[in-house]
Structure 1
Amino acid sequence: MVFLLLAIAATALSLNGLAHSLPPSHWWQLLVSAKVSAPSEALVFYGLLPRIVVALVAGFALGLGGAVFQQILGNQLAEPGLLGVSSGAGLALAASLLYAPALWRSGPEVVALTGAGLALVLVLGVAFGRGMASHTLILAGVVVNLYCGALYALLVLLNHDFLTDLLRWQAGSLQQSGWHGARMLFPQVAIVSAAIFLMQRPIALLSLGVGTAKAFGVSSATMKVLALACASMLAAFVTASFGIIGFIGLAAPALARVLWPQTRARLVPSAVTGAVLLLLADQLVRILSQYAGDIPVGAAAGLLTGPLLVVLALRHRKPSLHYSETVTPSLVKPRPTARLTGALVFLLLVTLILAFFVGQSQTGWHIVMSSDVESALTWRLPRIVAAAGAGACLAISGFILQRSLRNPLASPDLLGIGHGAGLGLAFAIILLPVAGIWSKFAVASIGAIVVLGVVVLLSWRNAFDPERTLLIGVGLGSTTNALLVLVLAGGGPKAAALLSWFSGSTGGVGIDEAIAVCVVAFLALVSGVMGHRWLELSALGDRLAGGLGVLLKTSRALALVTASVGTAAATVVIGPLSFVGLMIPHLVRIAGFRRMADSVIGCALFGALLMVFSDWLGRNIIWPWPMSPGLLAAFIGGPLLLWLIQRSERR
């Protein structure tokens, strides 16, 4: 019924748009003769009709690609952009526009496809070995995705005036001025989709586990590479032509599982759902653009599907996606954690001393002497303390979310807390430009608290079931992120002021805010250590954990609140950072931490160490111009984690 209503709404809006420009009595003659003799006919034939076709084909491709990713990787948060396809395309476009504009003569589509292909090859190269394990592909894909995204953000930050159009491209647009886009996209999607449907049975077997697939004679490594490559190609075709429209690939399979819970075949329902969702979103954009100006369809897709995903998640009664409820398998053998912890403490102390006493000035590199201590206490100490506290907060929050929700892709910004804080700050900067720093922090905090309250309220009635909580969080996060994209794409010069904060900046942080985030980090650390028993038992699944006396509803609520408060505190102080909260827990696990209490401490130390070093490097690497510690954290931690993953795979 819900799908039928969505399809009827999309069809009605499409027909209304056509009828508004050309009477229905002239439609058949226009289609048969294909002769344009009036401006209204030109608008329909070269504008509205190609736009409808492109929306259907692109939505079909993104929905199908998302279904393949989620079945192959066994994770409901997987989507075509997971392996860096979209971010690789964006990075290639930005880099070629700045440093090799001659490449655009061959067409931006070729440049975008090349960037997407290189990102995919890098992921597959890192994850090669041991049958292309799903958890390894996920880790490698997320790292490459974040790394390419960080490089793209850096280029935009340093060359905002030259790359303004790319910000609009990043938000996605399906506006057409002819049939060129449709003629190019349709055969590409048709050929790759046919190949995926021929692999439908092996893909279904892989979703049941590698052992099951091998028992039926399916080569897991070969089939994973082929299926993921085809799904990534679908996303790359859409991204290269129309920009980043990423949320359809994640939402369409999730909605299809809820709308057709008894259907075993997931590919066709997901693809059809994606086509309907994107068409509906684009038609709503077309109508609203008449009153609010140009609205990117990528952002509108998040605004439409986010609330819809939340509503359907509340109605969802049981998970229908086969995935393991255990945490990500260990990549290396356990090591004594006492030495690791001691080494991290030593490195953190050395980094703190380095960040405080060593830096650049007008005379070059210098060491702080007794006469300079007061100045260092004023300008350096708040940034150092804030970086350490924020890094610890995000790392602990990410660890708690991944363990409690049993999903290696869960991250602090997953539940929309960071986006809520960012949205509040965006409105504060654009609507209240003369407001003080405390007023802006207060508005950002309100945004984070509102999102947190909605997540807790909606998840409480479902006992914080992991799958439904994730869907609710993703839905709210997509809505707030879509609003942020709209602000960045249409905010003008004021929106440029937000780019530095969005990439993670400690500039302007006072000692009071720095101490506050450190206090929150300490409380989160204590909460994580005290809840180590529940985190250990949570990996066994709800049924076994409940049988062993764990109060699942209360424990998961406390874990969610702890992670959310830590995320909000860090986000308000230095901005939203995806890498630290998402990747540090995996880095800690690869390093050898196994026991939950030790892992929480290891996350706090790793997060603080990475952020303090990144902040120091950002202050000095291109002095006097500061670089974002959030971006540098991804630059430093990304290659390190990729190297550790590949090293583990070779073992």
Structure 2
Amino acid sequence: MALTKPSVTTPTATATARTGTASNTAAASTADGSTAAAFTATGSSATGSAATASEPPAPPPAAAGSRSSAAAVPAALVLLVAALAVVDITQGTAAVGAGQVWKALTGHADPADASVVIASRLPRAAAGILVGIALGAAGAALQAVSRNVLAAPDTLAVNAGSYAALGVLTVTGTSLPLLASSGVAFAGGLAAAAVVLALSGLGAGTVRLVLAGSALALGLGSVTDTLLLLYPERTNGLYQWSQGSISQNGFDGVAQMAPVALVGLVGLLLVSRRVDALSLGDDAARGLGVPVRGTRVTVVVLATLLAAAAVTLAGPIGFVGLCAPALVRPLGRRVRGLVRARAALPVAGLVGAALVLGSDVLLRASVGADSAVAVPTGVITSVVGAVFLVVMALRTRDTAASAAPDRLRMPGRAAFTGTVVVLTALLVALAIAAVLLGDTTLLLGDVLNWARGRGDHLVTFVLDTRVPRVLAALLAGAALALAGTIVQAVTRNPLADPGVLGVSGGAGLGAVLLVTTVPAAGAWSVAGAAFAGAALTAALVFGLAARGGFQQNRLVLVGIGASAGTAALISLLIVLTDPFNATKALTWLSGSTYGRTLPDVLPVAAVLAVGTVVAVVRRRELDLLSFDDDTARLLGLRLAPARLGLLALSVLLSATAVAAAGTIGFVGLVAPHAARALVGRRHIRVTPVAMLLGATLVCAADLLGRTVIAPSQLGAGLMTAVIGAPYFLYLLTRTRA
């Protein structure tokens, strides 16, 4: 689509364009510092005839060299993709090497070898190329139109929305052709992207958009995981597919999705000149006659179409749309022709194809063909993408506040006492209900007889299994709330939470690693492994964030990257050790208390007791750290040791909570916020109220998960994510302006 000139005289238009370009240089440099210069130097029709007339009739030698370099880059990438495809075709469980592949392609192979090559390996390589091109081009388009280097189908929740829509379609038993399924995925992805863009404000902050997308993706992922647990027969194989697998059975899927991806890519190329104009800034683009809002909507729709085609064909393969443009960006600083969207989009697509095929080749070369069959390609791209996200978070500046500070409230002692009494009564009533209700309903007398050792066989069996579950939920909720309270105070970050910061994910990774390698490990061993994983993750996250002074957005974004990486590694461990038991992975990741015994809750009980005493004794330090550094220094507080000790305590609390009840998210975010809203900011009051709220929230979630759809069960983590994700988004919208 050609870029329309302004309907004014040429000198005026040129002056307007130059003024707009100068005033928006900083905005354009957010996406790529050389975009404005390249756009002006190309002498496109959008700059007006005066600018064109002032240029020499023949391009200088540097420009000619730039054009040759711009052509050499795609050619080199095509060769790289072709080489990776050849290697990928020769890998597999069947003994079919390069010679047999060549014979199959030329029609001289054994029928069995030809069947393997034509029905499996060639479609797998073709799917990898198609998915990589679609995701790479979609990510490049989203980053260009938003001037946001962190925009991608993953970070805008497009993949999560598409996957959730397909999950709903699967459990309803609706059978649709692949092309119609792609339409459902497109609708889900577009709806998710629209929500994220509406909540974050396109261009309102580099990190804000990613935070909104990540929170919505977590919420949608919880809903989809709930469907997988509720309908295991209908969703058989959907968990492995949800990690992103390019394995195919014939060319039917590739043949049907290729035209969809082609429409999206061609559409982006047609509006590429308008995308270039947007890189100069909104004012300059309007001065050039570009419909800013319409162009953004068009690009988002086309990018979502590409992402939906990729998700329909291979599942949500993570972070390719983020990594591919990031790899192209340094090339754009050296090869001027790659700055323009018309060249950058196909190049990003080729880089995406190389990433997907390279990940598949690396996977099969590392773990062997037999094991690689069970490991989705998306697990590898997610690990690589998580590293990319952390690195880019450290290099990205975002001056927008992530959430409004809490209002300074000083409720009286009577209000605090009343709040504690009400919450305590509510928690006691909820705990009693949790003990009595379930797949078997009991009476209070049954519990009393059981406590005295006089219960019958059935009552004894039920309470021996149910009471530890209730205790695990109560203690884990209180521990996560206390950990969240400490982290938010130390980092002065209202978005901090052990789950959001990746600490819970690290604890889960350590625990799963021990359980899968040493199935007979005891409760204290699992707690120790969880603490080791949480400590390593926390050291990484807090260490990297401390380099910038614990900036709010940087800390949370690094934590999101760590959380994504640990989740991918947990999935990898599960599918490698027990590939046919996806329920085990989902049960653990959903925060279930199923099968807990009294020894399992002893570590979290001991750590919670110590943590409560420390938090009360050091309440003044928490108050000072949550205020500012200067005041704390003036009052003689040694900041580094205080921060380190309190963060270590929060890590220990999170690790033992994960060991007792699995990964439960958002409790450490919601409970401290609600506590401060009820009783003010003083930690002598916030701490007990937050712990009561955390215990109440997790116990209620566990009770609902056990009773609402009994005999089926849902993990408490899924329930808290459904509550916590909207609250996280609410915190972001409070300061959208």
TM-score (norm 1): 0.74
Q: Tell me the CA shift for residue 214 of structure 1.
A: 9.0
Matched residue, 1:324:
399
SS in 2 for 1:81: coil
Query: 2: CA distance between counterparts of 1:191 and 1:234?
Result: 11
The alignment status of 1:81 with 2:154, answered yes or no, reads yes
Which of 163, 169, 192 is residue 90 of structure 1 equivalent to? 163
Structure 1 residues 345, 178: closer, same or farther in 2, change over 3 A?
same
Counterpart of 1:568, as a letter, is: A
Which of 369, 378, 393 is residue 290 of structure 1 equivalent to? 369
Query: 2: CA distance between counterparts of 1:450 and 1:598?
Result: 30
Structure 1 residues 142-151 or 234-243, which shifts more?
142-151
Q: Tell me the CA shift for residue 351 of structure 1.
A: 2.6
Matched residue, 1:530:
621
Matched residue, 1:512:
602
The alignment status of 1:371 with 2:458, answered yes or no, reads no
Query: 1: CA distance between counterparts of 2:292 and 2:233?
Result: 47
Which of 134, 137, 153 is residue 225 of structure 2 equivalent to? 153
Which of 165, 175, 179 is residue 237 of structure 2 equivalent to? 165
Query: 1: CA distance between counterparts of 2:79 and 2:487?
Result: 38
Matched residue, 1:445:
531
Which of 175, 183, 190 is residue 104 of structure 1 equivalent to? 175
Structure 1 residues 18-27 or 71-80, which shifts more?
18-27
Which of 156, 170, 187 is residue 262 of structure 2 equivalent to? 187
SS in 1 for 2:605: helix
Which of 495, 510, 531 is residue 424 of structure 1 equivalent to? 510
Contact map agreement 1:535 1:596 (CA 8 A) in 2: no
Query: 1: CA distance between counterparts of 2:544 and 2:735?
Result: 40
Contact map agreement 1:619 1:626 (CA 8 A) in 2: yes
Q: Tell me the CA shift for residue 463 of structure 1.
A: 7.4
The alignment status of 1:241 with 2:313, answered yes or no, reads yes
Note the alpha carbon deviations across 1:565-595, whole angstroms, 9 max, x for none: 3432322221112343466677789x69996
Structure 1 residues 237-246 or 154-163, which shifts more?
154-163
Query: 2: CA distance between counterparts of 1:447 and 1:460?
Result: 20
Contact map agreement 2:501 2:562 (CA 8 A) in 1: yes
Structure 1 residues 11, 402: closer, same or farther in 2, change over 3 A?
farther
Q: Tell me the CA shift for residue 152 of structure 1.
A: 2.0
Which of 297, 300, 305 is residue 380 of structure 2 equivalent to? 300
Counterpart of 1:187, as a letter, is: L
Q: Tell me the CA shift for residue 506 of structure 1.
A: 2.8
Which of 348, 351, 355 is residue 430 of structure 2 equivalent to? 355
Structure 1 residues 512, 434: closer, same or farther in 2, change over 3 A?
closer
Counterpart of 1:290, as a letter, is: A
Structure 1 residues 394, 463: closer, same or farther in 2, change over 3 A?
same
Q: Tell me the CA shift for residue 145 of structure 1.
A: 2.8
Which of 117, 139, 151 is residue 187 of structure 2 equivalent to? 117
Query: 2: CA distance between counterparts of 1:559 and 1:389?
Result: 19
Contact map agreement 2:81 2:350 (CA 8 A) in 1: no
Counterpart of 1:110, as a letter, is: A
Which of 643, 659, 671 is residue 572 of structure 1 equivalent to? 659
Larger Rg: 1 or 2?
2
Contact map agreement 1:123 1:144 (CA 8 A) in 2: no
Structure 1 residues 436, 113: closer, same or farther in 2, change over 3 A?
farther
Structure 1 residues 64, 635: closer, same or farther in 2, change over 3 A?
same
Q: Tell me the CA shift for residue 419 of structure 1.
A: 3.2
Structure 1 residues 396-405 or 283-292, which shifts more?
396-405
SS in 2 for 1:164: coil
Structure 1 residues 327, 573: closer, same or farther in 2, change over 3 A?
same
- Describe how 1:401-416 pairs up with structure 2 within 5 A: 411-413=497-499, 416=502
Structure 1 residues 150, 454: closer, same or farther in 2, change over 3 A?
closer
User: Which consecutive unaligned segments of at least 5 residues does structure 1 have?
Assistant: none
Which of 35, 38, 51 is residue 109 of structure 2 equivalent to? 38
Query: 2: CA distance between counterparts of 1:161 and 1:364?
Result: 28
Contact map agreement 1:57 1:189 (CA 8 A) in 2: no
Q: Tell me the CA shift for residue 187 of structure 1.
A: 0.8
Which of 551, 574, 580 is residue 488 of structure 1 equivalent to? 574
Contact map agreement 1:94 1:152 (CA 8 A) in 2: yes
Q: Tell me the CA shift for residue 283 of structure 1.
A: 1.9
User: Which consecutive unaligned segments of at least 5 residues does structure 2 have?
Assistant: 1-72, 453-461
Structure 1 residues 624, 277: closer, same or farther in 2, change over 3 A?
closer
Structure 1 residues 364, 303: closer, same or farther in 2, change over 3 A?
closer
Which of 342, 347, 358 is residue 280 of structure 1 equivalent to? 358
SS in 1 for 2:591: coil
Query: 2: CA distance between counterparts of 1:211 and 1:545?
Result: 45
- Describe how 1:10-29 pairs up with structure 2 within 5 A: 13-17=84-88
Contact map agreement 1:360 1:620 (CA 8 A) in 2: yes
Matched residue, 1:501:
588
Query: 2: CA distance between counterparts of 1:199 and 1:244?
Result: 29
Query: 2: CA distance between counterparts of 1:154 and 1:88?
Result: 15
Q: Tell me the CA shift for residue 442 of structure 1.
A: 3.5
Aligned residues: 626
Contact map agreement 1:245 1:298 (CA 8 A) in 2: yes
- Describe how 1:222-233 pairs up with structure 2 within 5 A: 225-233=297-305
Query: 1: CA distance between counterparts of 2:491 and 2:324?
Result: 21
Contact map agreement 2:136 2:350 (CA 8 A) in 1: yes
SS in 2 for 1:173: coil
Contact map agreement 2:526 2:659 (CA 8 A) in 1: no
Query: 2: CA distance between counterparts of 1:76 and 1:597?
Result: 38
Structure 1 residues 82-91 or 38-47, which shifts more?
38-47
Query: 2: CA distance between counterparts of 1:597 and 1:71?
Result: 45
Which of 503, 519, 532 is residue 433 of structure 1 equivalent to? 519
Which of 688, 696, 702 is residue 615 of structure 1 equivalent to? 702
Structure 1 residues 52, 360: closer, same or farther in 2, change over 3 A?
closer
Contact map agreement 1:22 1:41 (CA 8 A) in 2: no
Q: Tell me the CA shift for residue 298 of structure 1.
A: 0.7
Contact map agreement 2:664 2:716 (CA 8 A) in 1: no
Q: Tell me the CA shift for residue 239 of structure 1.
A: 1.1
Contact map agreement 2:486 2:622 (CA 8 A) in 1: no
Q: Tell me the CA shift for residue 535 of structure 1.
A: 4.5
Query: 1: CA distance between counterparts of 2:733 and 2:389?
Result: 39
Counterpart of 1:38, as a letter, is: A
Note the alpha carbon deviations across 1:317-376, whole angstroms, 9 max, x for none: x9554522533347xx94846389778645532331222333326884755688358389
Contact map agreement 2:161 2:192 (CA 8 A) in 1: no
